Amino acid sequence: MSSIHSKASFTGDDFHTAMKDVYEHSMLEKQKNAGYFCAHCHTPMVDNLQGIITGTAKVDPNDPKAQAAVGCTFCHSIESVHDGMPTRFYDIAADGSVKGPGRSTKTVSFHNIVKNELFDSPDLCSGCHGYLKNDKGVSICSLKEEEWDGKSTCQDCHMKEADGKPAMTSDRKTHRSHAMSGGHSQEMLDSASKMEIKLSQSAGAVKATVNITNLTAHKLPSTMPFRMVLLKVQAKDASGKVVWENFKGDPMKEDPGAVFMKVFSAGDKVGVPTWDAEKIAMDTRIPAGATITRDYTVSAPGVAEVEASLLYLLLPAPAVKQFNIKPDGYLEVPHPISQATAKL
């Protein structure tokens, strides 16, 4: 398996490992039992899951069930999803049957196959992505509850039809891709938004109006609180030299309107980890299907064109340092989502 889901545990994801270590250290400082609550979604196939969540047991990093993270067996054992606090919970088949959308036209002897309409519904994913609050009641990752457009299913975009049969015994020629592409996929990022720039001149200055449309079925960026999208705008002269830009260093200080993300606070401190959050300090993410506008007045001389780029970061640079996360050349690097250019 090569999907991000298959690497979601602390044994396969350096970012998750770092966050697990920070969380456990934070809990020890508060003299609290550092149960591994993240196991609910990140290592759901381990034995004694409840004990691991509450802290009475530990995950063995050498356990194949931990290394498998969110694997085939787990997803295809789901019978139902139901509400619970502080998240939603899965009911898993006890009879060993394999659940699925029921598109197979053949009977196999390896295991019993049971059709479950849940597999064509966004509810299948909502057990992990749909609803999560911390112990203070602050919404952390609540895609289905707060971000979803209510029309599309997760499978429509993240499990597109791909060539090849879904199983050896199948007579179908295509299948739903199980790559579960998301923010780690440039192809997915390329389809997430569109931009346009309109220019006008007045009193010796150039006014640039940048329109950004979110083409996804949820907020942009979505779900994971660390995700960040930046709008970078540059004005260039006829030689291509940059004569103006909306920010050079820290966009939060220089152009906060160009930052799209969700930030938590506790007391007077802004930018706290999810487990310490007492409220949402800022949520500037772009709603599903919405178009937002940012206006810039460029007074630099010799402006010939204006370029705008929408950049996606899985993790803001300050967080890499704050949480001692090992850079991997992708995690901390801005990735283009959409671009636009307008000439005078």
For 55-96, what is each residue's pLDDT tens digit?
Answer: 889 889 999 999 889 988 899 999 999 877 677 788 888 888
CA dihedral 246, 183, 269, 279 (to 10 degrees): 120
pLDDT beneath 70: ranges in the chain: 1, 85, 104-110
Other beta carbons less than 10 A from residue 134's beta carbon: 17
CB distance 219 to 287 below 8 Å: yes
Q: Which domains does the chain have, with CATH numbers?
A: 5-153 (no CATH), 192-343 (2.60.40)
CA distances from 141 to 281, 286, 302, 324 (A): 15, 16, 46, 22
pTM: 0.90
pLDDT 10s digits, 327-336 = 788 888 899 9
Q: Are 59 and 65 in contact (CB under 8 A)?
A: no
Mean pLDDT over all residues of the chain?
Answer: 89
Question: pLDDT tens digits for 213-227?
Answer: 999 999 999 877 889
Question: Alpha-carbon distance 215 to 289, whole Å?
Answer: 5
Please tell me the predicted confidence (pLDDT) of residue 216. 94
Give the amino acid at 79. E
